[in-house]
Structures are given as structure tokens and as C-alpha cells.
Chains A and B, each alone.
Chain A
Amino acid sequence: MKEQSQNKKTPNYSGVLAVKVDDLTVAYNYKPVLWDIDLEIPEGVLMAIVGPNGAGKSTLIKSILGILKPIAGSVSIYGKPYNKQRKLVAYVPQKGSVDWDFPTTALDVVMMGTYGSLGWIKRPKQKEKKAALEALEKVGMLAFKSRQISQLSGGQQQRIFLARALVQNASIYFMDEPFQGVDATTEIAIINILKELRKAGKTVIVVHHDLQTVPEYFDWVTFLNVKKIATGPVKDIFNDDNLTKTYGINYKVSIQE
């Protein structure tokens, strides 16, 4: 019941903060990868995190999710620390972060999304299986449910990952480069699902590489390069100035409105 009410918060910039990051600093071997990041992500946005390679985009997501330990700073999800709000958050890691030769099927991978709500020891049952099948259908992969995951194409694997996040029925979705190495059809399918999530009042945060598609896909953007350069609505801040500050060379936004 509690979850339901949280899911039903008014969509689109209700003024509620989904994620708040304060003074976050993360370092690998004493080399700061993220430096003193302050970030406020309003509920209901579809946000891109952009920045050059090594800017700390994945690191930012992983630190918010508690996968990496920051050396300073704090993160809150709807006003509380992450480990109290796990069930509100779903995460789609980079496709390359797992071994696709692992002996398991597409359906089984999607079922893994239900493990969080099950907790330790309890096994997934019919209810979880049903949810997983629905998620597979949503991403157009139902026909592949029994297929071994190495027998799927890159785009299909990405859809399986997306389905695994959908099955968590979260309020905030973090995705690490979901468009990496997928074909055009899959890219469109994925972005449509993300837009649906936003319509349902969810907050979606995506590490994104293709600057061309930012205005088309997203309504909110964060520029990141070790430090936070800017964050806000795409229409206000996605401009040459911020791109140049982030990427260090002169950028022209070559996108026609």
C-alpha cells in the first residue's frame, strides 16, 4: 500500500526531489573521479547524464546506488538514504558488465529483478514469474523467453536488461548506456518505454553518449566532467556554452529544432 501511494505521486516536476546528491566525491586510488557533486533531480523527469569518457557518469550512478563507496558526501532518495529506499530504485547496468555466456535464460534474467522485493532466501513463485513474463512482453521479447542469453543479439540483451528493471516496478530508474551497441529498432523501442515510464510519473536517469538525440529523447540533462557543469531542463541549458565547458572544445549544437 505504501509503495502504491509513492508510485502515484503527481508526475512532471511536482517539486518533489527524487534524488538529491550532496558534496559527493568519489576517488579511485586517490584520483578523484567525481568532485564535490551537488545534484538535485526532480521527480518525473527523463534525464540524460552527458560528458566525455572518464567524466564519471557511470561512477555517479554507481555511487548513488551504493555500489561504490564515496570518500565524501551523501545521497538521498526521496529524502532517505539509499539502503532504506532500495525498492523504489531499479538499475540497468552496462551490458558489458555481465557474462552473457552464463547458463541461464532470458526469462530467468528478468526474474532476477524480482529478487529485491523477495529478500533473502525466499524463492520466486508464480506471481514473480507472471510479472517477468509481462515485462518481457512490454519489451517485445516474450517469444525469446526460453532462449539462452548468449543466443540473443546485443539489442535483445539490452531489452532483457530493461525488462529486468521494469519488473522491479520502481519509482526511479537508473540506466547505464542503454543504447550502447543496439540497432535502430531497439533504440526506438527502448526510448518509447522510457517515455512511457515518465508518463507514469517515474523518474528516469540515463547515462547517454549520443548528443544528437538529447533534445529529442530527454527533457532534463546533467552535464558532467568530474565536476558538475550544469543541470536543468534541456530547452534551457542544452547549448553550445555548456557543451564547450563539458567537452573542452568548441561545440556547435547542430540540431534543427
Chain B
Amino acid sequence: MNSAQIEIQLIASLVAIACAIPGTFLVLRKMAMISDAISHSILPGIVVGFFITQDLNSPLLILLAAFTGIITVVLVEYIQKTGLVKEDTAIGLVFPALFSIGVILIAKNANDVHLDVDAVLLGELAFAPFDRLFIEGTDVGPKSLWIIGSILLITITLLLAFFKELKLSTFDKGLAASLGFSPVIIHYGLMSVASVTTVGAFDAVGAILVVALMIAPAATAYLLTTDLKKMLSLAIGFGVLSAISGYWFAHWLDASIAGSITTMLGFIFLIVFLFAPSKGIIAVMYREKQQRTEVSLLTFLLHLKNHTEERERHVNHLQEHINWQKVRAKTVLDLAQKNNMITMNKNIVSLTNKGDTFTSKAIDYIITNEDAQIEDMKEDFFLFRG
């Protein structure tokens, strides 16, 4: 690895971390789309900022552009508050309008601005190491590294200071307000961080990837944990993992780094979406299948409880009578036997004491819907796990 490669990976990783932190809260606040809006509508801010400062990495430009991000949020909320259109429509109206102003500004001044729409959308991570910061003539590293590093430092400081406030106002705005933690201040604080991060990351990774880095790692982490702190760490981990693996994927393919990182983000999400232990698609399908079997089991046990006569309890009769296919009937019989709920004698099925108690308890639960009694049953059966 040469130093440029290390620098690119370092920049990509810092961007990933800086995005994952506000991204986690955006996902939990169901505001993922607002990051898309911000990432596009900061374009006019960047262009105007560039006219003024003539330097894409100037802090003033970052603030100006971030301010456009805040304007987006304010406009979206204003339009939404009129009640004439819904939030998603408001977002869809505001950001293309602002973005197109940026596009026109670039096109009109294309000669003297070294910005083009491709670079804005996809970023130029590969070139980041060439634009270096010199302090008193000494090369201290790529400018983007310093910018995103400073933004990350601010983000982490704010997160550590206001973690409790962020959590509270994200979970329960009303309580936050009544306890004196203004949800409006926290909301705009978060939006400012998201805007500044977007601008800071923009030059390196482009508008599309910024959105992906904010949303995908958080969405992936959400499927794996039920703890906010773990969700934050996992989101950061997935972001960095995608950044580094994406870089090498691009290296191998000789393709766009931003595109490859986004691909990795999508790939990791897909894997987790399929295989997450409790919220993944496969786990959910397995659980539903189990539940169907357990409902069948309960139906079967209830039938046994209601019918003492042998003819009703013959295995063949069960198949005809309850109208189950052989496989289903066998699964249910096996499950019941495994749990010592039935005994079989010459193909005549009878309930054991345990089976009898279980059936009464289960029926009781279904009728009264009281939780306390069946806490112990939850361990054995999916059906009662809510």
C-alpha cells in the first residue's frame, strides 16, 4: 500500500464514521429522506461559496453550504405545516428546486469553476490525496482529511455531550418538551450536524454516497440490535467496513471508489437483511413457520382434550378429520411427542398430564390475553412471544 492509498482509505473511513452518527438518529427519527434532500440542496450553497472564497475546502464555504441544508429543512417543514402537501411531497419539491439552481449556476460559470455535475454526484475520492494542506510550507496531509477530521471531532464531542438529549427527544418528543429539553433546538442541532457533515464529505465522496453512508449503515445496524449505543457502534463499524472493502473492490475492478463503497454498503445490508438473527427475513419466515406449526399443535391438543372416544383419537382419523396433509400431521405429532404432551398406543393418541395442563393454560391465555401466567411457556413456544 502506498501513502495515497492509505490516505484515501483513511478519508473514506472518517467520512463513514462522521455520516453514521447523525445517520443513526435520522433513521430512528424516520427522516432518512431528509439527508437525501440536504445532500442535493447544498449544491447552490457550495457554488455560491466557491464564488466568494475560490476554495472548495474553505470553512466559510462549508458553513454557507451547510446553511443551505438548514434552509432546506426549514422550507420542507414550512410547506408541510401548511397541510396542503405531505412531508415526502414537500421534500420532493424543495430539493430539486435548490439543486437545479446549483446546476444552472455551475453551467453558467463553467469556465471559471472547477466543479462539474459528475464530481458533485459521485465525488472524486481518488484525487483527494493530491489536494494537500501546507502549514508554513510543510505538507501535513490531504485537505479533505483535515476537514472531515475536524467535522468528525465536533460530531463526536456533540454526541458525547448531548447523547441523553438526542435519545430522549428521538424517542419521546413530548416528554423532552415537558422536561425542558426543547425538541426544536435538538432537531435543528442534529440537522446542522447532518448538513455540515454532508458538505464536508461531499467533495470527497459526492452527494449520492453521502446519503448511502448516512442511511445504509444505520439501517443495517437497526436490524441487529435493540440497544442504541450498540446500534451507533455497529453503524460506524459497517460504514468503515464498507469504506475499506469498497476501496479495494474499486482497486480490483479499476472502477469508481464511491460507486464501489456504495455497492459494499448495499451488499452488507442485503446480507444482514437476509440473515439477521431475529429481524432478518429468513428468521422471520422461520418464526412464522414455527408459529403455524404451533397453532396446529394447539388445535390438535384441543381436539384430543375435547374427544375422549378412541375413534376420534386414531392417527388416521386425525389426518382425515382435521384435514391435514401427512407431512403436517407428522410434524405436529412429532412436536407433541417430543414435548411429552401425548402418548401413542397402537396409533391411538392420548394426552399426557403435561399436555392437558399445557392446553388449558394456552387456551386460558388466548381467551384472557393475560401475560403473567405464561411467561414460562414463552421459552418453549414462539406462539406466545408476542
Chain A residues close to B by CB (< 8 Å): 29, 62, 65-67, 83, 86, 89, 91, 93, 97-99, 102-105, 109, 112, 115-116, 118-124, 148, 150-151, 153, 155-156, 164, 183, 185
Contact = CB atoms under 8 A, between A and B. Distances in A.
B293 interface: no
9 contacts: A29-B83, A65-B177, A91-B174, A98-B172, A99-B30, A115-B165, A115-B168, A120-B162, A183-B369
Nearest to A82: B178
B372 interface: yes
A65 B179 CA distance: 9
Contacts of B28: 99, 102-103
B177 A103 contact: no
B368 to A, nearest CB: 8
A97 B174 CA distance: 8
A104 B180 contact: no
A30 to B, nearest CB: 12
B178 A65 contact: yes
Contacts of A116: 179-180
B327 interface: no
Given A109-B171, A121-B164, A123-B164, 13 more contacts: A67-B177, A86-B179, A91-B178, A93-B172, A97-B174, A103-B28, A103-B225, A103-B231, A115-B179, A120-B181, A121-B161, A156-B371, A183-B370
Contact of B226 (A103, A115, A118): A103
Contacts of B370: 183, 185
Nearest to A90: B178
Contacts of B231: 103
A67 B179 contact: no
Residue of B168, B174, B370 contacting most chain A CB atoms (<10 Å): B174
Given A67-B178, A103-B228, A185-B372, A97 B164 contact: no
A97 to B, nearest CB: 6
Contacts of B165: 115, 120-121
B163 to A, nearest CB: 8
Nearest to B81: A29
Contacts of A29: 83
Contacts of A109: 171
B222 interface: yes
B228 A104 contact: yes
A115 B178 contact: no
A206 B338 CA distance: 50
A118 B227 CA distance: 22
Nearest to B224: A103
B170 interface: yes
Nearest to B165: A120
A93 B180 contact: no
A230 to B, nearest CB: 27
B181 A115 contact: yes
B117 interface: no
Contacts of B174: 62, 67, 91, 93, 97
B108 to A, nearest CB: 42
B137 interface: no
B162 A121 contact: yes
Contacts of B368: 183
B226 to A, nearest CB: 4
A189 to B, nearest CB: 11
Contacts of A118: 164
B33 to A, nearest CB: 17
Nearest to B180: A86
A67 B173 CA distance: 9
A29 B161 CA distance: 37
A89 B226 contact: no
Nearest to A164: B175
Nearest to A185: B370
B314 interface: no
Contacts of B385: 151
Given A103-B226, A123-B164, A183-B369, A98 B177 contact: no
Interface string B297-321: 0000000000000000000000000
A217 to B, nearest CB: 21
Contacts of A83: 180
B287 to A, nearest CB: 13
A185 B368 CA distance: 11
